[in-house]
Amino acid sequence: MDIKDILKRFWFVFLIAAIFVVFIGVYAVNTIQNQPVKITAKEENGSYLIYSIGDESLTADDLYDELKESYGVSTLYRKFDELVCDKAIKTTSEMKDLAANQAAYFLQQYGEEEADAQMQSLGYGSSEDLDEYFLYAQKSQMLRADYLKAHYDEYVAPYVEENNPKIISHILIKVADITEEENEDGETVYTANPTEEEKAKLDEVVQALENGEDFAEVAKEYSDDGSASSGGLLGYFDDNNSTYVKSFKNEAMKVNEGETSEVFTSEYGYHIIYCNSQNVDEFYDYSEFLEAIYGDDVILYNAPLLEKAEELGITINDAELKEQLMSEISGEEE
C-alpha cells in the first residue's frame, strides 16, 4: 500500500490531525506574540463558572441573579427603550454621520478614559459604544418628538401659549469697561463705556442690519460670541430659560419672528438678538424643547415608548422585571 492509498483510506484521520495541528499552532503563535490573556470558559455541574477561589466559586447563574437584583430594571429599561426606538425609527445615513461626528467630538473633548467612564455610567461597555449611544439618543428624541406632534393640543399648544418659545440668534460686541449700578427696583443696570474701536464696531453692525444685510452673515463677520461661526445661532429659547442673564432674557422674549432687538448692554458688552423662528415644527429638533415639555414627568416621558412598543408588538417576557419596570414608568401595576 503506497502513501496515496494510505491517504485515501485514512483521509479523515489526517484531517482531524490537521485541525488539531492548526489549533495548537494558532494557540502557540498567540502565546509567543504575547497577545492579551485569553480566558477559557469552564463548566461545572451544568453551570458555567465566573471564577473559583479555593473551594468556593461563583457561577454565571448566581451572578445573573445578583446583577438582576441590583441592575436588572435599569438595564432592561435602557435596552427596551433602545430596541423600541431602533425598530420605530429607521436609521438613515445622515443619522449615522451625525452620531459618528458627535462621538468623535465627545471623544476629543473628554479623552478616552473619561469617555469610557461616562459610557459605563450610562450602562454601556466603553467609549467604543459612543456611536451606538448617539444614534440611540437621536432616535429616542425623534420618538418623543413624534409623540408630541401627535398630541399637539394636549401638551404642545398649552406650553407654547404660556412660554412663547422661539429660535434665536445673537451678536455680541464685547466691551471691556462696563459699569453696573442698581436701579430703583433693585435690578442691576449695566452701562457700557466703549473704546472708540468698540463703538465703531457696534455702529458698523447696526448700519449693516439697517441696510438689510443677513443677520447670520453680520454675526459671522462681527460677533465676539462663540456662536459667530454658526451665524450667531443660539437655538431654542423660551420663558423658562435660566441659562442667560436677565437683561438678555427680557430682550429675547420681546422679539418676534424676523425681528431684531434694540441694542442692549449686559455685563459682557453690547447685544443684538434676532428671532429666527416661532414655528413650532422647527422646535421638535431641539432637545431643550422636548425636555421643557416632558420635564420630570416619568409617566409622560415613557408614554411614547409604551405606545410604540405595543404598536410594534415588542414585549418584555420576564414577568418579574416587567412588573417592576412598569410600576416605575407607567404608574400602573401590571
Partner 1 sequence: MKKIFAILLCLLFLTACSSNSAMVTEKSEAIISGDGVNYTKQDFFDDMKNNDYTSTIARAIYEDLAILEGYDMEEIENDVEKDLNDLKEEYGDDFETAASYYGGEEVLKESIRLSNLVEKLSNQYFEDNEESLLEEYHPVLGKAIYFDDLDSANKMLDLLNDGVDFDKAAKEAGYEEDIVSEVITDKSDLPYEVKSYFNDTNEVGHSNVLASVITSTDADGNSIDTNRYYLCAILDTDVNNFKEDFYIVLSENYDSDTIIDSYLSKYDVEVYDQRTYDLVHQTFEAFE
In the complex, which residues of this chain contact partner 1 (CB under 8 A)? 12, 15-16, 19-20, 23, 37-42, 46-61, 63-64, 66-68, 70-72, 74-76, 79-80, 83, 87, 120, 123-125, 309, 312-318, 321
Which is nearer to partner 1, 61 or 262 (by Cβ)? 61
CB 323, min distance to partner 1, A: 14
Sign of CA dihedral 243, 259, 257, 239: positive
In whole angstroms, the minimum distance from the beta carbon of 139 to partner 1 comes to: 14
The nearer residue to partner 1, 29 or 176, going by C-beta atoms, is: 29
The strand pair at 178-182 and 47-53 is best described as unpaired
Least distance to partner 1 from the beta carbon of 148, Å? 23
Q: How many CA atoms lie within 13 A of 177 on its CB side?
A: 7
CA dihedral 308, 311, 313, 316 (to 10 degrees): 40
Residue placing its CB nearer to partner 1 in the complex, 197 or 319: 319
Minimum CB–partner distance for residue 1 and partner 1 (Å): 19
| Least distance CB 130 / partner 1 (angstroms) | 14
Longest pairwise C-alpha distance within the chain = 116
Question: What is the distance in angstroms between the CA of the first residue and the CA of the last residue of the chain?
Answer: 76
**56 vs 43, 49, 50, 51, CA distance in Å?**
14, 11, 11, 9
Nearer to partner 1, 133 or 294 (CB): 133
Instruction: Report, in Å, the least distance between residue 141 CB and partner 1.
Output: 21
φ, ψ at 276 (rounded to 5°): -75, -40
Q: How far apart are CA 228 and CA 221, in angstroms?
A: 8
Q: Which is nearer to partner 1, 32 or 53 (CB)?
A: 53
Question: Which DSSP category does 58 fall into?
Answer: E
Q: Which is nearer to partner 1, 76 or 107 (CB)?
A: 76
